[in-house]
């Protein structure tokens, strides 16, 4: 490059440096021009809000130190009480005081937010340095006050001060300057207000505790838990707890606030659930409240093990969510006409709106001022008064409900007496010698000779599996509605409905029971015709009848009685009903019942087997009544009767070959009939004979063993 080119490059570089110097001066000029306007002190101005006279510098990495603070970066305070929400940055604040030549009295520099961890005060360039905050024992404070307070005595002329704020809590910077007299008066007013406020809260706590002990309504206990947590939260937030309760417990003072927030919120959620009865009035939001309750209950102990900055953010966010949920619960219950929700909605709207406003102030969405700083105290005081009225109204509601409940109970008892006859037959009471169900005592019993009838639907389980629970009950009621009248027409009464089974008693004669079974079978045929026309599957019912001695009486506990019928007579009748499935017949009765019939010739009977019941030695002869069978089957059974009896004679005598031949004759005589119209008994005995021929018994009595 030649010399001329070199000179041109040098000239351009010189112009570039000059331009950069001009720009730097332009950048630095605003910073220098923005130095804080000094606050002029005078006896006529005993108090100052320094916010608008401060400059603030954010130190994101905490790398600045006094007095080597950068010139650019300072900005004017956004208001009287700057608030930056939760921040990891360190904030520097500077301001100037202009003291007249005559001198100034001692002032008190107050940090209006008690939850600041560390505040350092630097005076001028002398390097005078003081540090306070809740990271240090309360005894370190020269001025014993819940807020950090520095005594300052400005010298005549201009005095410059710099504050360094560092905290894991919300970064609120309400800096105020007071004369000692005005500060003392202000503190006295605050203490009076706080004393009244906490007095109200404690009185309400004790009052509701006594109410709980009096009426044993858990709503009051939950409210006491909420008040206890809320009071602890407030005294911690206001700095009073650090001043009076744990002034030397640094770790606890810096960790307990989220715990109290979670604790109080859990109490308020449970109180809301109980007071509003959300399990019944608002089931969906009740489940949400249960989830939040579990979250807050777990959050309380866990918060002690988390960093404070994380715990307080989580607690504040969860509280805000709980506020919205509880307000929604109140409005939903109010909209659904739940009377106690009136006071609840008003009271909690006032309080929870205050909590929401305070949370927004904490997150720096709203500015800090007297209203946002004290809104929780204002709202909670109003809430206590309103909820006290609500709880008192709740007592009146409970009293009124108890009176209504008492009247309903009397009416219910009268209706119950009338309805009891539908559950306990009048005949049962007559046999016990009682006029009314009220006269029945546990252990009342009487022994009677009666005929027992068991009727049960075959394959009911498979049938019910095809139906819904509603359809199953409709089917059962339609079925029992048809089966019940024949019992009453034949001088019997139904003791119990056991699912699909009917247990009926006939005190006069076995003829009534047999006649009833035949009529019930005919009613079943009519019902099946209706079911066929409606496209439903037909059903079949088996009937077991037995006569003998039985016991009628009452069993149970002092608080729960039931009527029952017990005895071998009952058990055998139930077993016979099950045997109808094996023999594929409809009605089976024992010889006990058969022998005591007044008119056995009035029915169609045939002997079908001799059985020995488990636990009994004497065999029981079983008979079939086939009056209700379809005509073709009835005709077949009548035609087979003599041949069948001859076959059974040889069968009982142990001549199985001859019995088998005769039973084959019965079966072959029926070959012309469809399978559904065949007499099932010859085939049963044919199978028995073939088995006995292949494995002859060592001892044969002709009696079958009833194993169930």
CA 618 to chain CA mean position, Å: 60
Q: What is the pLDDT of residue 603?
A: 93
- The per-residue pLDDT for range 221-248, each reduced to its tens digit, is 888 998 899 899 989 988 999 999 999 9
pLDDT single digits (tens) 380-431: 778 877 877 777 777 777 677 777 777 777 676 666 655 555 555 656 566 5
When pLDDT is cut at 50, 70 and 90, the band that residue 442 belongs to is low
d(CA 595, CA 612): 18
> What would the pLDDT profile of 525-583 be if each residue is shown by its tens digit?
999 998 888 888 888 899 999 999 988 777 767 666 666 788 888 888 888 988 999 89
What radius of gyration, in Å, describes the C-alpha atoms of the chain?
48
| pLDDT score of 83 | 84
Give the SS3 label for residue 111: strand
- Select the more confidently predicted residue: 593 or 612: 593
Which CATH number is associated with domain 39-185?
2.60.40.2380
Q: Which fold has domain 426-626?
A: Alpha-Beta Plaits (3.30.70)
The secondary structure of 606-650 as a DSSP string is: EEEEEEEETT--S-EEEEEE-TTS-HHHHHHHHHHHHHHHHHHHH
Residue reference for tokens 């006295």 = 188
Question: Is 75 or 411 the better-scoring residue by pLDDT?
Answer: 75
Average per-residue pLDDT for the chain:
83
Total residue count of the chain as it appears in this document: 708
Please state, in angstroms and rounded to a whole number, the distance separating the CA atoms of residues 61 and 158: 31
Specify whether the CB–CB gap between 45 and 154 falls below 8 A. no
- pLDDT for res 27: 40
Full DSSP string of 249-310: -HHHHHHHHHHHHHHHHHHHHHHHHHHHTHHHH-HHHHHHHHHHHHHHHHHHHHGGGS-HHH
Determine whether 484 is exposed, middle or buried from the number of CB atoms within 10 Å of its CB (0-12, 13-18, 19+): middle
- How much is the pLDDT for 545? 94
DSSP symbols for 413-449:
HHHHHHHHTTTS-HHHHHHHT-SSGGG--TT-EEEEE
The pLDDT > 90 percentage for the chain reads: 32
pLDDT for 18:
37
Residues 112-164 have pLDDT tens digits of 889 899 999 998 866 678 999 989 999 889 899 999 999 998 989 999 999 99
Q: Which residues contact 111 (CB under 8 A, 6 or more apart)?
A: 119, 147, 148, 149, 173, 174, 175
Domain boundaries, the chain: 1-32, 39-185, 217-400, 426-626, 630-708
Using CA atoms, how far apart are residues 349 and 344, in angstroms rounded to an integer?
8
DSSP 8-state code for residue 586: S
What is the Cα–Cα distance from 295 to 298, expressed in whole angstroms?
Answer: 5
Q: What is the pTM of this model?
A: 0.53
Lowest mean pLDDT among 62-66, 259-263, 375-379: 375-379
Question: Is the model's pLDDT at 437 over the cut of 80?
Answer: no
pLDDT of residue 294: 94
What average pLDDT score do residues 39-45 get?
Answer: 82
Is the backbone of residue 615 left (phi > 0), alpha (psi -120 to 50) or beta? left
161-to-34, 109, 115, 375, 556 alpha-carbon distances in Å? 16, 11, 22, 31, 88
- Is pLDDT above 80 for 36? no
What per-residue confidence (pLDDT) applies to 230? 87
Tell me how far apart the alpha carbons of residues 420 and 422 are, in angstroms, rounded to a whole number: 5
Angle value at C-alpha 52, between 51 and 54, nearest 5 degrees: 70
Q: How far is CA 361 from CA 80, 176, 307, 364, 368, in A?
A: 14, 19, 22, 5, 6
Count how many Cα atoms sit within 13 Å of the Cα of residue 49 in the half-sphere of its side chain: 14
Phi, psi values for residue 706, rounded to 5°: -90, 110
């Amino acid at each position: 490059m030649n010399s001329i080119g070199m000179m041109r490059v040098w000239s351009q570089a010189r112009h570039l440096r000059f331009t950069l110097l001009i720009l730097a001066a332009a950048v630095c000029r605003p910073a220098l021009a923005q130095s804080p306007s000094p606050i002029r002190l005078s006896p006529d101005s005993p108090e100052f809000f320094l916010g608008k006279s401060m400059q603030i510098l954010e130190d994101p990495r905490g790398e600045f130190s006094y007095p080597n603070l950068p010139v650019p970066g300072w900005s004017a305070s956004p208001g009287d009480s700057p608030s930056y929400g939760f921040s990891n940055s360190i904030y520097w604040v500077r301001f100037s005081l202009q003291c007249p030549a005559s001198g100034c009295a001692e002032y008190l520099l107050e940090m209006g937010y008690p939850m600041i961890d560390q505040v350092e005060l630097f005076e001028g360039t002398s390097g005078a340095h003081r540090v306070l905050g809740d990271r240090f024992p309360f005894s370190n404070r020269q001025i014993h006050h819940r807020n950090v307070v520095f005594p300052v005595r400005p010298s005549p002329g201009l005095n410059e001060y710099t504050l360094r704020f560092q905290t894991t809590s919300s970064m609120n910077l309400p800096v105020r300057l007071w004369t000692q007299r005005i500060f003392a008066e202000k503190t006295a007013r605050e203490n009076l207000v706080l004393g009244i406020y906490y007095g109200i809260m404690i009185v309400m706590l004790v009052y509701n505790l006594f109410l709980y002990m009096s009426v044993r309504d858990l709503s009051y206990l939950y409210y006491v838990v909420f008040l206890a947590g809320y009071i602890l939260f407030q005294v911690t937030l206001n700095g009073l707890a650090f001043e009076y309760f744990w002034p030397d417990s640094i770790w606890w003072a810096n960790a307990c606030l989220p715990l109290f927030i979670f604790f109080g919120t859990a109490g308020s959620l449970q109180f809301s659930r109980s007071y509003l009865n959300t399990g019944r009035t608002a089931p969906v939001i009740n489940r949400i409240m249960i989830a939040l309750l579990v979250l807050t209950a777990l959050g309380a102990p866990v918060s002690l093990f988390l960093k404070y900055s994380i715990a307080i953010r989580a607690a504040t966010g969860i509280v805000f969510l709980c506020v919205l949920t509880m307000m929604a619960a109140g409005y939903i219950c109010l909209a659904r006409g739940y009377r106690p929700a009136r006071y609840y909605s008003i009271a909690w709207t006032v309080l929870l709106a205050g909590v929401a406003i305070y949370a927004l102030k904490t997150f720096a969405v709203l500015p800090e001022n007297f209203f946002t700083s004290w809104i929780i105290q204002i709202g909670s005081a109003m809430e206590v008064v309103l909820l006290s009225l609500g709880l008192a109204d709740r007592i009146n509601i409970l009293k009124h409900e108890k009176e209504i409940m008492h009247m309903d109970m009397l009416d219910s008892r009268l209706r119950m007496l009338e309805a009891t006859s539908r559950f306990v037959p009048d005949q049962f009471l007559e046999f016990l010698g009682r006029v009314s169900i009220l006269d029945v005592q546990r252990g009342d019993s009487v022994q009677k000779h009666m005929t027992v009838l068991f009727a049960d639907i075959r394959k009911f389980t498979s049938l019910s599996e095809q139906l819904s629970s509603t359809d199953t009950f409709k089917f059962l009621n339609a079925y029992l509605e048809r089966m019940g009248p024949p019992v009453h027409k034949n001088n019997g009464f139904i003791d119990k409905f056991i699912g699909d089974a009917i247990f009926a008693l006939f005190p006069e004669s076995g003829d009534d029971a047999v006649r009833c079974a035949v009529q019930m079978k005919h009613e079943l045929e009519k019902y099946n015709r209706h079911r066929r026309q409606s496209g439903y599957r037909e059903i079949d019912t088996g009937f077991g009848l037995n006569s003998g001695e039985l016991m009628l009486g009452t069993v149970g506990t002092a608080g729960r009685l039931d009527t029952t019928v017990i005895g071998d007579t009952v058990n055998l009748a139930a077993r016979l009903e099950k045997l109808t499935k094996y023999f594929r017949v409809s009605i089976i009765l024992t010889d006990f019942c058969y022998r005591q019939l007044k008119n056995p010739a009035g029915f169609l009977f045939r002997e079908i087997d001799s059985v020995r019941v488990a636990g009994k030695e004497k065999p029981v002869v079983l008979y079939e009544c086939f009056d209700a069978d379809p005509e073709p089957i009835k005709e077949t059974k009548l035609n087979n009767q003599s041949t069948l009896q001859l076959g059974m004679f040889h069968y009982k005598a142990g001549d199985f070959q001859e019995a088998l031949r005769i039973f084959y004759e019965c079966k072959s005589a029926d070959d012309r009939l469809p399978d559904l119209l065949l007499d099932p008994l010859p085939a049963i005995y044919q199978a028995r004979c073939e088995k006995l021929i292949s494995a002859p018994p060592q001892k044969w009595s002709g009696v079958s063993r009833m194993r169930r």
